[in-house]
Amino acid sequence: MKEFTYKICDELGIHARPAGLLVKKAGEFSSETIMYNGEKSADMKRIFALMSLGVKQGDTIRVTVSGADEDEACAELESFLKNNL
């Protein structure tokens, strides 16, 4: 299992447009991808679950990736977050 944290910089947090793109990116991998915001967690391949976390600017999220392609998935998702949120 791979894991990383990221502090959200986007002033709107994780809203509909980037959430949709993030779900699409996570769907490119067979690994299980879970995002945590405090005590809440969500499958990153499900947009409504992701939106239910209520991630705002300044929140630090934790992402865990486990599966056959976890190294690539972890690197790609971290890069996506840095470039888009």
Would you say 44 and 34 are in contact if contact means Cβ atoms under 8 Å apart? Answer: yes
- What tokens were used for 26? 């996570």
Question: Which residue intervals of the chain are DSSP H helices?
Answer: 16-26, 47-51, 70-84
Would you call 20 a catalytic residue per the annotation?
no
Which of these is catalytic: 4, 6, 10, 15?
15
Residues noted as catalytic: 15
